[in-house]
Amino acid sequence: MKLTILGCGDAFGSGGRFNTSFLLEQGHQRILVDCGASTLIRLKQLGVSVTSIDTIVITHFHGDHYGGIPFLVLSNHIEYKRATPLTIIGPFGVKRMVYSLQEALYPGTSNILEILDITFVEYQDRQWIDVNDLEVYARTVTHAVPTNPHGVKIRWQDKVFAFSGDTEWNDSLVDLADGADVFVVECNNLNEDSPGHLSYQTILSRQTLFNSKRLLLTHMGTEVISQEKLEIERLSDGQEILF
């Protein structure tokens, strides 16, 4: 599997980084995990066609994690005349939230979601669901409650990718990391946790609980980015990882 980091920044674009979005590829299939507001720009910078993406997995309803969907919708319909299926997987209420966002950013365009014939699938907490030749497992995490925050684990063929989403410490993280080839965990702060977010020190002190082959930090604030060296690997925009 190939993982491309379209964006690993926080909500403030600390360090000039783009909003959260990860591109997973196997063969000719492509999946997005989160779709922050800057995602279409990043796809175009890297020469990735929006029509090549079959599935979008959303962890929660904050703009830096799903705010890019309306732009992808317009690009798919107007620029590329998309005629192939698209599936959006997310927390409870994902269809309603995507429709509301589409109307908020581009009033009068939510009908395009019908034209594109998008299939919406909701997570089943602590259960694997089969969608488009992959399996998705979700756990509720601790972030802003109205966003219905989840972490996800994706099993695709013989590889497993896991992502914490945005969260404070939550025992669900141990479950999400279990058996993952790659576990991406948010690390907004350096020394102390804040409401809805983890710190590097918390992750470092508990990293032995994570039964994953590789641990990677994302969603970093300025203080984490500015550190010359850390004991846990940090992601960067544009990075490619094969696993």
| Tokens encoding 144 | 């802003």
Query: Within the chain, what is the greatest distance between any pair of CA atoms?
Result: 50
Of 10, 34, 54, 64, the catalytic one is 64
Q: What does the alpha-carbon distance between residue 30 and residue 165 come to, in Å, rounded to a whole number?
A: 20
| Tokens encoding 126 | 């602590």
CA dihedral of residues 202, 204, 208, 212 (deg, nearest 10) = 100
In the three-class reduction of DSSP (H, G, I as helix; E, B as strand; rest coil), residue 174 is classed as helix
Q: Which residue has the tokens 């082959």?
A: 213
Q: Is 158 a catalytic residue?
A: no
Positions marked active-site: 64
